[in-house]
């Protein structure tokens, strides 16, 4: 862990990061999860959690921005393929899948600019 790194990074597990996921877990389990003190970033280093962000506008590490861009595009493609087949047991419409894919691609685009 570098104490002199001035950049804001993104967590390596982009889709599992951020307060939204912790809030979802808390609502399912009825318990609050603690944020980690140190995380591995998209560029492969370990930094304090406070030096990461899930907002594209805040991330200043270019390697992390590239990592997040690729991860969001990959997930959007996976989600889109999931929505093409029969989704028995899932209460999700094609419009909802398309909207989610659009949001993911928008996030990827914001990380690339």
Instruction: Note the pLDDT tens digit of each residue in 87-103.
Output: 666 777 788 888 989 99
pLDDT of residue 88: 61
The helix (H) or strand (E) run that includes residue 95 is: helix 94-112
Q: Which of 48, 52, 16 is nearest to 33 (CA)?
A: 16
The helix (H) or strand (E) run that includes residue 38 is: strand 38-40
Question: Does residue 63 surpass a pLDDT of 80?
Answer: yes
Residues 26, 33 contacting (CB under 8 angstroms): yes
Within 10 A of 92 (CB to CB), how many other CB atoms are there?
Answer: 11
DSSP structural state of residue 65: H
List the structure tokens of 25.
């877990």
pTM above 0.85, yes or no: no
Question: How far apart, in whole angstroms, are the C-alpha atoms of residue 47 and residue 33?
Answer: 19
């Amino acid at each position: 862990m570098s104490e002199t790194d001035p950049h804001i990074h993104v967590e390596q597990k982009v889709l599992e990061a951020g307060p939204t996921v912790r809030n979802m877990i808390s609502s399912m389990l009825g318990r609050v999860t603690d944020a980690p003190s140190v995380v591995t970033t998209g560029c492969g280093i370990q930094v304090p959690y406070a030096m990461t962000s899930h907002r594209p506008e805040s991330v200043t590490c270019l390697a992390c921005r590239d990592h997040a861009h690729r991860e969001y595009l990959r997930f959007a493609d996976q989600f889109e393929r999931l929505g093409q087949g029969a989704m028995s047991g899932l209460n999700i419409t094609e419009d909802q899948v398309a909207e989610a894919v659009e949001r993911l691609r928008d996030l990827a685009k914001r990380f690339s600019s």
